[in-house]
Amino acid sequence: MSVVALPLMGKAIPHRPVNEAVTIHRLPVEAASDWQQEVKNECRRQRSLTPAVFDFLKAAGLLDRCTFLASEHQFAPLRFRYIGGPTVRFLGRAWALQQIGKPDLDDPHQTLAEGVGHQYREAIEGGDPVFNRVTITGLSLSPKVYTHMLIGWQQSDGRRALLTCLHEF
């Protein structure tokens, strides 16, 4: 077997650290897409997170567009319970498998986790849906832009839950 020598065509490309950034712009809830509005209306109709909400999402073919997080008790962190298709496609299947059951802030993409984590808590504690346009840079070749409708619940025993409905552009 012979060795093949390749000529050096220029300087090596230096390795640059990833500069993740998350920009979040609050939008009026009324600006959400039709399907996000449908989910919001169904959640309001149910008044709490019940199996009927998930039945609705499945029947309408919308479950894959959503991500669901919940806490086990009052002082427990929000944990990923279901991760929808848009998030899996952007962050990868390996990331999603690694994150199921883990706290939302225990994420290798700390800038992203903290940025959207504040929004999650606002939707839960405020009791009203939150609608944002989110731009993520530094995790892919081009910026990722999407909107998310965040619908949160806080039970009388302190447990919390969040449904995020992600609309890709």
- What is the pLDDT at residue 50? 86
Residue stretches of the chain with pLDDT short of 70: 1-18
- What is the pLDDT at residue 33? 97
- What is the pLDDT at residue 43? 94
Report the alpha-carbon distance of residue 67 to residue 102 in Å, rounded.
13
Report the alpha-carbon angle 36-119-116, nearest 5.
95
| N-terminal to C-terminal alpha carbon distance within the chain | 51
Distance set, CA 99 to CA 53, 132, 157 (Å): 23, 23, 25
Structure tokens at 109: 């993409």
Task: State pTM to two decimals.
Answer: 0.85
Give Cα 150 distance to the centre of its chain: 9
Report the alpha-carbon distance of residue 133 to residue 117 in Å, rounded.
15
